[in-house]
Amino acid sequence: MNTFTDGQAIFEQGATGDQFFIIKDGTVDVLKDNKHVRDLTKSDYFGERALITNDVRSMTIKAKGNVECWILSKSTFMEVVHSDRRNSLIDRMTM
The CATH superfamily assigned to 2-94 is: Jelly Rolls (2.60.120.10)
* pLDDT score recorded for residue 54: 85
SS3 52: helix
User: What are the distances in angstroms from CA 94 to CA 35, 53, 65, 69?
Assistant: 20, 12, 30, 25
Residue with the larger pLDDT of the pair 91 and 11: 11
How far apart (Å, rounded) are the C-alpha atoms in residues 81 and 61? 22
Partners of 3 in the β-ladder? 68
Give the residue from 45, 49, 47 showing the smallest Cα distance to 11: 47
Instruction: Give the model confidence (pLDDT) of 29-47 as tens digits.
Output: 999 999 999 999 999 999 9
* pLDDT score recorded for residue 52: 81
Q: What is the pTM of this model?
A: 0.86
How do the domains of the chain map onto residue ranges?
2-94
Instruction: Give the model confidence (pLDDT) of 7-29 as tens digits.
Output: 999 999 999 999 999 999 999 99
